[in-house]
Amino acid sequence: MQDATTLLKINGLIYLLLGALLVFLPPTIIYFLSETNPAPTVAMLGTGVGFNLLGLLLLWLANQTTPSPQWIKLTVVIDLLLAAGIFGLILMNIWVTTINGITAAGLVAIVLAWFAWLQWQHLANQTKSP
Q: What pLDDT digit, counting tens, does each position of 52-101 carry?
A: 999 999 999 999 988 899 999 999 999 999 999 999 999 999 999 999 99
Q: What is the pLDDT of residue 1?
A: 47
Residue 34, pLDDT above cutoff 70: yes
Q: How far apart are CA 67 and CA 42, in angstroms?
A: 33
Three-state DSSP class for residue 49? helix
Q: What is the pLDDT of residue 28?
A: 97
d(CA 28, CA 92): 22
What is the rounded average pLDDT of the residues 110-125?
95
Quote the percentage of the chain above a pLDDT of 90: 88
pTM for this model (two decimals)? 0.93
